[in-house]
Structure 1
Amino acid sequence: MTLLDMEKKLCVPALLVLVLLSASIADSQQLQSSQSQTLLRIQQLLHFPPALSLWNSSTDFCNSEPNPSLTVVCYGDSVTQLHIIGNRGGARLLPKSFSMDSFVTTLVKLSDIKVLTLVSLGLWGPLPGKIDRLSSLEILNVSSNFLFGSIPHELSTLANLQTLILDKNMFTGELPDWIGSLSGLTVLSFRKNMFNGSLPSSLSGLSALRVLDLASNRFNGEVPGLSHLTNLQVLDLEGNCLGSRFPRLGDKLVTLILSKNRFRSGITSEGMSSFYQLQHLDLSSNTFIGPFPTSVLSLPGITYLNISHNKFTGRLNVNLSCNSELMLVDLSSNLLTGSLPTCLKPSSRNRLVSYSGNCLDTALENQHPVSFCSNEALAVGILPQRKKRKISKAGLASGITAGVSGLVLLVVVLFVFVRRINAEKTAKKAHPRLIMENASTRYTSKLLSDARYISRTMTLGAVGIPAYRTFSLEELEYATNNFETSAFMGEGSEGQIYRGKLKDGFFVAIRCLKMKKSCNTQNFMQHIELVAKLRHRNLVSFLGHCFECYLDDSTVSRMFLIFEYVPNGNLRSWISDVHMGRLLTWEQRISTAIGVAKGIQFLHTGIVPGVYANNLKTTDVLLDNNLGAKISSYNLPLLESVGKKMSSSGRKDGEKLDIYDFGVILLELIVGRPLKTKSQVDVVKEQIQGSVSEEDAAARRSMVDPTVHRECSDQSLKTMMEVSVRCLLEDPWERPSIEDVLWNLQFASQVQDGSPGRATASS
């Protein structure tokens, strides 16, 4: 065989191998190209966020260096993990052209993906059910976006799902019962959404669960038994309306947060001592009653303990022991007595301890007298504990005899006393004097029967505001220097108002009302007990009351209503006058509008029946030290008997009247000047309505207060204008609900965040 023949024979198989190899490479490139095109399409649909700025057609996605904003992990030629994180400080909403449905349609082409993280990217719209096509999905995190609506039922088919995080979105509706079918879940976090309703009992079946975070939603009712969740380490239910019983829990918890709810009972020292791994416990801002379980101080892992703003009772002693790693303890605003434990006294340890607002035997921090805690405990139905002892029959008989004798003696004394009082009444003219009530009286049966007026949102109390109580006239005279002229703030149809400073340094506003001769305390006590619980961070809260009565017939001569003092003036002065050299920025105006809207929402839904037709104006909105908005004038049923003109509007009519008034407030925030007549409001509304319908952003900006028109983004401004115009529609039934208003205002705030024109102050 010649050399030429051999070359010909070898050439044929070599050529065949080359062809097969080329075909294989081409097939591999085709698969990789499909995945690459999907990723580039995702970049386009997300409007080229900074995290994806380096992607292009030549990017080797599977071998790219990961960073905190972007990670792509591949197995073979398929993407198995995709992490995209936008602006952590708050993403801007994607444009109106964005479609969540189209985005998910593209996303599911990455069919082998197991871990998907899409955080702070401005995604908006309902979460499509077709996301269940990612059947291999184990971790889904779409937090800090603008997704709304209910959770799609199709998620229940993701059998491999282990982590589901939907934090900081706008999801609504109840938590579905099918959530219990995701048996492999280890992390379930729906923090900061708008879920409502009760928690499903199926949660107790998620035996693999390690983290359950449902904080800052609107859940209510009892917490289902979670004692079977033996792997649960973190439970955070803060900021809901859950309660009243302390939940049944497993003993492996490391973090337990139940603050800002309506839990009331069910804690025992024996139960708490079983949490041997517990490190972080927060029970603050509830209505817990009964003895404080002191054993929690010495739990082997405890480092953080907060039980403030409850009604825990019990006597502390100096010999109580504490865990050496305990770094923060807050026992303030309870009903604790006795001595502060030695382990909680100031020492060289870097430990923060607060215990003000109790009845402890110490000169440090503000303490009430022991009688205060005793009266308060009785008012909430906590009886002092006594040791049981056996009583003999002879002792019982002696006790009955002594009791009867004492009763006879008491009747005789009362008879003599009444005759003496009658003689004094005829001898001299009756004069007004103060009738002191107990600092905390027992709830009457009438009040308890009317407890339905207090709603689930009642417990969202204003942080830092003292508990409601009865004041003495001497306290008010001290606070106002005997009601001197310098303390006088003004006078209106609801009486004179004074500014005062209590002995503990807390500033108050005191309204003095002169009463008709026929008025007596019983006419007001039910109303007072109810409005005392109208606590919300966006309302000026009641702090207490004081009656001055005539001796002859116990009728009320004067009634004093004590409110929290809000120091920074009213909203109108901050948008139409230079207030201490400053005007509100655009962001602050949106924040103020949101605060007022939340206050209105509370008035409408915080008690049943709601408080409507409040005749709100910018002069009725006060700003606190942090420029937080507080509504100072609302249509209280208490003042109906005092002479305030009450609206006869029904629920729906009154609700829509408040929406109209809120629209006027929004107009003033936008244009920066007072609108005192309806004709002025109508003119500005027509101008704004015309500018909203135009595409010219400059036309809209020309309508805005000149001090802020450079800093507001067009989308934010347009949203504010649209909301105000809708609130001012002539047909009340076409005006939006307060929930709809709130959603749009929050949208305006999110759109404004991160815009180039942001500013922090206007001079």
Structure 2
Amino acid sequence: MAISSLLSFTTHALILLLLHFSAAKHGGSRHHGRLNHHPHRRPSPTTNPRLHQAYIAFQAWKRVIYSDPRNLTSNWSGPSVCNYTGVYCAPSPDDPDTTVVAGIDLNHGDIAGLLPEELGLLADLALLHLNSNRFCGILPRTLSNLALLFELDISNNRFVGPFPSVVLSLPSLRYLDIRYNEFEGPLPPEVFSKGLDAIFVNNNWLSSNIPPTAFSGNTSASVLVFANNKLGGCLPPSIANFASTLEELLLINTSLSGCLPPEVGYLYELRVLDVSFNEIEGPIPYSLAGLAHLEQLNLGHNLMAGLVPAGICGLPNLKNFTYSYNFFCEEEGICSNLTERGIIFDDRQNCLPEKPLQRSKEECAAAAEHPIDCYEHPCGGGYGYGGDSASFTGGSTSLAPATMPPVSPSPSPSGYP
């Protein structure tokens, strides 16, 4: 799966950094080596002003760190910043004879503190990994000076405020992970047009509908994870602009409504699609039967109805198919016995005849009286299931997002939200 493959963003992050910084040194060729805590050449601040600027930045940062239970910053003293724990140096891309601070990795440090304005002095930084700490406050605007920043991971901290728009000004950014913080307010559509490879914004307090033009720009991401926010609205047809790149789309518990657009079936590289715990209506688009790479499909806990198409159940790489807690009334062809194909599935709490653990006849009859026409009302018609939600949210068949199992923080960008 693509999220698993994104381990390269973390476990091999330093290799990526080296390739990024050594290109100039080796005439643009791909040359493998390693970043160094202890480079052979350690110019003094008087001969290397860029390391001196980094020294100023680290000393300012240390002053606003209030708790460091693992003593990761205990050796942050003196001008030899390349010796600091969590700091990685490399030759500068514009001057291979000059050593610069290229990466910072303080993941899982449990450090409490702020990010000072002086971090903007680290103009050569390509990697900043701070996940699983207790940093708080807002991101300093001076981060806009980090023109080479390739990866930013501040997940699982205590940052607050609106979406950190400073990240939109970073020209080299390709990996953005801000999940498990307390960012709130609208998600700017510009985040989708920056040419990012991976976008993790799940488990914040982000709100506002996904605009129809959200995915109309320079869309090239392979992973989009929005889960556990309150974005609302419909998934726009412009999602098809990710057709050649998107491998994983996770929209769990994001207050989505309306119909699932058939354009999702155009995402021919998709391996994981999870839109569970929303208010999506209507049938499963037949176009999903064209997703030959799809391995995991989760439509559970929505308001969908109609039949489960055999074309989807017959997808060659499908391993896990969940469509429980909907109003499906028929499993077409091989869908009635996915066990024979070795597919893990969950079809509980639907309206499937002769299947165990289904909804009551009353619930199913009420749903059948209000079919949804997705061509006429692709983003919800203000009628149908949503018109009388009390009939569909009571007792053991609750569809409300509050019924979701608790999601534990996942500090690594390699797992589900």
TM over 0.5, shorter chain: yes
Could you give the per-residue CA deviations for residues 225-275 of structure 1, whole angstroms, max 9, x where no partner exists?
21120200110110121021103221211111100000012423x312111
Question: Is 1:244 aligned to 2:258, yes or no?
Answer: yes
Alignment partner of 2:242 out of 203, 218, 229: 229
Change (3 A) 1:255 1:319: closer
Question: Is 1:118 aligned to 2:135, yes or no?
Answer: no
Cα distance between partner residues in 2 of 1:372 and 1:158: 55
Equivalent runs, 1:177-256 vs 2, <5 Å: 177-182=189-194, 184-200=195-211, 201-225=213-237, 226-230=239-243, 231-247=245-261, 248-249=263-264, 250-256=267-273
Cα distance between partner residues in 1 of 2:57 and 2:155: 22
Unaligned residue ranges in structure 1 (runs of 5+)? 1-23, 339-354, 360-367, 384-446, 469-532, 539-625, 629-749, 751-763
Cα distance between partner residues in 2 of 1:84 and 1:143: 12
Q: Which residue of 1 aligns with 2:18?
A: none
Cα distance between partner residues in 2 of 1:255 and 1:449: 29
Q: Which residue of 1 aligns with 2:15?
A: none
Cα distance between partner residues in 1 of 2:308 and 2:335: 16
Could you give the per-residue CA deviations for residues 532-578 of structure 1, whole angstroms, max 9, x where no partner exists?
x889559xxxxxxxxxxxxxxxxxxxxxxxxxxxxxxxxxxxxxxxx
Q: Which residue of 2 aligns with 1:55?
A: 75
Could you give the per-residue CA deviations for residues 24-58 of structure 1, whole angstroms, max 9, x where no partner exists?
87743654344244334423422352261452436
Equivalent runs, 1:2-21 vs 2, <5 Å: none
Alignment partner of 2:57 out of 34, 38, 43: 38
Other structure's SS at 2:288 match? helix
Could you give the per-residue CA deviations for residues 170-203 of structure 1, whole angstroms, max 9, x where no partner exists?
1111111332441x21111111001111113232
Choose 1 or 2 for highest CA Rg: 1
Q: Aligned-pair RMSD on alpha carbons?
A: 3.8
Alignment partner of 1:164 out of 176, 189, 209: 176
Question: Is 1:381 aligned to 2:371, yes or no?
Answer: yes
- TM-score, structure 2 normalization: 0.71
Is the CA contact (8 Å cut-off) linking 1:261 and 1:285 kept in structure 2? yes
Q: Which residue of 1 aligns with 2:309?
A: 293
Q: Which residue of 2 aligns with 1:258?
A: 275
Could you give the per-residue CA deviations for residues 378-400 of structure 1, whole angstroms, max 9, x where no partner exists?
344389xxxxxxxxxxxxxxxxx
Percent of aligned positions with the same letter in both sequences?
A: 20
- More displaced 10-residue stretch of structure 1: 139-148 or 212-221: 139-148
Cα distance between partner residues in 1 of 2:346 and 2:301: 12
Cα distance between partner residues in 1 of 2:260 and 2:76: 55
Is the CA contact (8 Å cut-off) linking 2:117 and 2:141 kept in structure 1? no
Is the CA contact (8 Å cut-off) linking 1:335 and 1:377 kept in structure 2? no
Equivalent runs, 1:633-652 vs 2, <5 Å: none
Is the CA contact (8 Å cut-off) linking 1:46 and 1:121 kept in structure 2? no
Q: Which residue of 2 aligns with 1:151?
A: 163
Other structure's SS at 1:198 match? coil
Other structure's SS at 1:256 match? strand
- More displaced 10-residue stretch of structure 1: 115-124 or 54-63: 54-63
- TM-score, structure 1 normalization: 0.41
Change (3 A) 1:283 1:51: farther
Is the CA contact (8 Å cut-off) linking 1:303 and 1:326 kept in structure 2? yes
2:241 maps to a residue whose letter is H
1:238 maps to a residue whose letter is I
1:125 maps to a residue whose letter is G
Other structure's SS at 1:179 match? helix
Cα distance between partner residues in 2 of 1:138 and 1:35: 18
Cα distance between partner residues in 2 of 1:212 and 1:170: 19
Question: Is 1:273 aligned to 2:292, yes or no?
Answer: no
Cα distance between partner residues in 1 of 2:278 and 2:303: 8
Cα distance between partner residues in 2 of 1:535 and 1:236: 15
Change (3 A) 1:197 1:228: same
Could you give the per-residue CA deviations for residues 48-100 of structure 1, whole angstroms, max 9, x where no partner exists?
52261452436955367x8xxx452433421111111235xxx58x4xxx5x4
1:186 maps to a residue whose letter is D
1:62 maps to a residue whose letter is C
Could you give the per-residue CA deviations for residues 575-602 of structure 1, whole angstroms, max 9, x where no partner exists?
xxxxxxxxxxxxxxxxxxxxxxxxxxxx
1:43 maps to a residue whose letter is K
Is the CA contact (8 Å cut-off) linking 1:220 and 1:240 kept in structure 2? yes
**Deviation for aligned residue 1:108:** 1.1
Change (3 A) 1:51 1:164: farther
Equivalent runs, 1:125-136 vs 2, <5 Å: 125-136=137-148
Cα distance between partner residues in 2 of 1:166 and 1:318: 41
**Deviation for aligned residue 1:122:** 1.4
Other structure's SS at 2:240 match? coil
2:282 maps to a residue whose letter is S
Is the CA contact (8 Å cut-off) linking 1:282 and 1:307 kept in structure 2? yes
Is the CA contact (8 Å cut-off) linking 2:51 and 2:81 kept in structure 1? no
Aligned pair count reads: 344
1:82 maps to a residue whose letter is I
Change (3 A) 1:534 1:326: closer
Cα distance between partner residues in 2 of 1:454 and 1:126: 39
Q: Which residue of 2 aligns with 1:80?
A: 102
Other structure's SS at 2:103 match? strand
Change (3 A) 1:154 1:315: closer
2:396 maps to a residue whose letter is P
Is the CA contact (8 Å cut-off) linking 1:51 and 1:84 kept in structure 2? no
Alignment partner of 1:308 out of 324, 340, 343: 324
Looking at secondary structure, tell me which structure has more helix per residue.
Answer: 1
Alignment partner of 2:152 out of 132, 140, 143: 140
2:312 maps to a residue whose letter is V
Change (3 A) 1:52 1:40: farther
**Deviation for aligned residue 1:161:** 1.4
Change (3 A) 1:334 1:203: same
Q: Which residue of 1 aligns with 2:118?
A: 106
Cα distance between partner residues in 1 of 2:161 and 2:73: 31
Q: Which residue of 2 aligns with 1:358?
A: 358
Change (3 A) 1:257 1:450: closer
Is the CA contact (8 Å cut-off) linking 1:302 and 1:326 kept in structure 2? no
Q: Which residue of 2 aligns with 1:694?
A: none
Cα distance between partner residues in 1 of 2:341 and 2:317: 7
- More displaced 10-residue stretch of structure 1: 289-298 or 371-380: 371-380
